[in-house]
Structure 1
Amino acid sequence: MKTLKKIGIWMDHSMAHITEFDSEIKETKIITSDFTFQDKVETLQHTESGMHNKEQQKLSTYYKDLAQIIKNFDEVILFGPTDAKVELYNELKENHQFDAIKIEVKNTDKMSDKEQCNFVDDYFKRFDFKTTKEL
C-alpha cells in the first residue's frame, strides 16, 4: 500500500508555514509573499488601483509558489486566520492538476510553530485513526 504524502500549511497573506506530516523531526519551511508594507506605501502614493494590481500580482506569485509545493503531496490541510487559505484553495480547485489531491481548509487563530506542528499532527492522526478503524 502506498504511503500518502501529507502536508499542513498555516498561512495568511504575507507568509505560509509549511509542515510535512510523517517526518520524525518536524521542520517548518516558510514561504513569504513579496508584497511588503513598503510596496503598499509606495503604490498608495500613486493610485489605489495601482496598489491593488501590484498586490494581486504578488499574491498570484505567492499562491503559485505554494501550488508548486502542494502538487507533490496527496493530502493537504490549509489553515490560518485570514481568507488567504480560501483564496489559495479556490485557485487550486480551478486547476485540474490538483483534482487528485485531497485539500481541506480550516479556520484557526494565529499559532506558534509548535502549535502549528501539533495541529498538523492531530489533524492527520485523527484522519488516519478513522481510516484504520474502518478497515
Structure 2
Amino acid sequence: MKTINQLGIYLDHASANLIDFTGNDKEPQTIVSEFDIQDKHETLQRSESEMHHKEQDKQRAYFKKIATLAIGYNELVLFGPTTAKTELLHFLQKDNSFGKIKIEAENTAKMNLQEQEVFVREHFKKFDSKNS
C-alpha cells in the first residue's frame, strides 16, 4: 500500500507554516518572505516599477522555497486569509514537478499555529473518509 504524504501550507505574503500530516510528528516549518516593509519603503522612494519588480523577485524566491519543501508530498492544501495561497497555487501549477500532486486551496480566517494544525488534521481526515 502506497503511503500518502499530506502537507498543509498556511500562508500570507509575509510567511508560511508548513504542517506535515503524514504521521511522522514533524514540527511545523516556517518560511519567511524576504520582501518586508523596509524594502517597500526604500524602493517606493526610487520608483514604483522598481518596487514591483523587486517584490515579484522576492515573492518568486519565497514560493520557490515553499515548493522545494513541498515536492515530496502527494497532497497539498493551501490555506489562509490572503490571496497568497492562490498565487502559490498558480506558481505550483506552472511547475511540471507538481503535475501529479493533488493541490487544493481554501480561504480561511487568520489562525494561530494550533488552529492551523487542527485545520490540516480535519481537512485530511474529511478527505480520507470520502475515499474509504
User: Do both proteins adopt the same fold according to a TM-score greater than 0.5, normalized to the shorter chain?
Assistant: yes
Answer yes or no: is the 8 Å Cα contact 1:26–1:117 preserved in 2: no
Structure 1's consecutive aligned runs of 4 or more residues displaced over 3 angstroms after TM superposition are none
Tell me, in whole angstroms, the C-alpha distance in 1 between the residues paired with 2:64 and 2:130.
Answer: 32
Query: Percent sequence identity over matched residues?
Result: 46
Shift of 1:15: 0.4
Q: Any unmatched runs of 5+ in structure 2? A: none
Question: Which whole-Å CA distance do the structure 2 matches of 1:112 and 1:3 have between them?
Answer: 29
After TM superposition, give the deviation of residue 22 of structure 1 in Å: 3.1
1:110 corresponds to which residue? 110
Q: Mapping of 1:56-95 within 5 angstroms? A: 56-95=56-95
- In the TM superposition, what whole-angstrom CA distance separates every residue of 1:6-54 from its partner, at most 9, and x where no partner exists? 0000000110011000336462110010001111111011011111110
Residues matched between the structures, number: 132
1:1-135 paired onto structure 2 within 5 Å: 1-23=1-23, 25=25, 27-132=27-132
Q: What do you get for the CA RMSD once the two structures are aligned? A: 1.1
Residue 96 of structure 1 and its aligned partner are, at CA, apart by 1.7
CA contact (8 A) 1:10 1:16 kept: yes
